[in-house]
Amino acid sequence: MRRTEDGGAAAAGVAGTAVMTDSSPPSAAGGVLVALGSILGAAVGFAIGQATAGFLIGLGLGAVGALLIWWRDRR
């Protein structure tokens, strides 16, 4: 940590480099779709007696959703 002119602390970058300032908006995160698809798929699958199949279907649907978000958001 280094001190600023007004006595406050400012975070330094990794290995003493300057902190990067990026003006581009943050990327959309599709990983939550993979996680939710897996959990909800397993829950629905468990309710109908096919937990593994539900998990795999939910995982697949979540991955497709994440890929669609990535495809839409790519720069």
Structure confidence by residue, pLDDT tens digits, 30-56? 899 999 999 999 999 999 999 999 999
What does pTM read for this prediction? 0.64
Q: How many other CB atoms sit within 10 Å of the CB of residue 58?
A: 23
Give 52-70 pLDDT, tens digit per residue.
Answer: 999 999 999 999 999 999 9
User: Is 10 within a domain?
Assistant: no
Residue type present at position 30 = G
User: Is 21 within a domain?
Assistant: no
User: Is 15 within a domain?
Assistant: no
Residue type present at position 20 = M
Q: What total number of domains does the chain contain?
A: 1
Q: Is the pLDDT of residue 19 over 60?
A: yes
State the residue for tokens 């890929």: 67
CB of 2 closer than 8 Å to CB of 19 = no
User: Is 9 within a domain?
Assistant: no
